[in-house]
A and B are shown apart, each in its own frame.
Chain A
Amino acid sequence: MNIGEKIKGLVDYFRSEDFKITLILVKKSPLTVLGLALTIFLVLVAIFAPLIAPYDPIKQDLKNRLQPPSWEHPFGTDQLGRDIFSRVVWGSRISLFIALIVVAISFTVGTTIGIISGYFGGKVDEVLMRITDMFMAFPRLVLALAVAAALGPGLFNTMLAIAFVSWVYYARLARASTLQIREEVYIEAARAIGASDKRILFLHVLPMVIAPVVVQATLDMGGTILTAAGLGFLGLGVQPPTPEWGVMVSEGRRFITEQWWVSTFPGFAILLATLGFNLLGDGINDILNVRARR
Chain B
Amino acid sequence: MKIAFVVNDILTEEAGYTTCRLAMAAVNRGHEVWLTSVGDLAYDPDDSIRARARTVPKKKYSTTESFLKDLKGKNAVSERITVDELDVMLLRNDPAQDYIGRPWAATAAIVFGRVALRHGVIVLNDPNGLSKATNKMYFQTFPEEVRPKTLITRDRDEIKGFAREQGGTIVLKPLSGSGGTGVFLVRPDDIPNLNQMIDAVSRDGYVIAQEYLQAAVEGDMRLFVMNGQPLRYKGKYAAFRRVRTGGDMRSNIHAGGKLREAEVDATALRVAEVVRPKLVQDGMFLVGLDIVGDKLMEINVFSPGGLGSAQKFEGVNFSRSVIDALERKVQYMQFYRRNFDNVELAVL
> A and B bound?
no
Interface residues of B (CB under 8 A from A): none
Interface residues of A (CB under 8 A from B): none
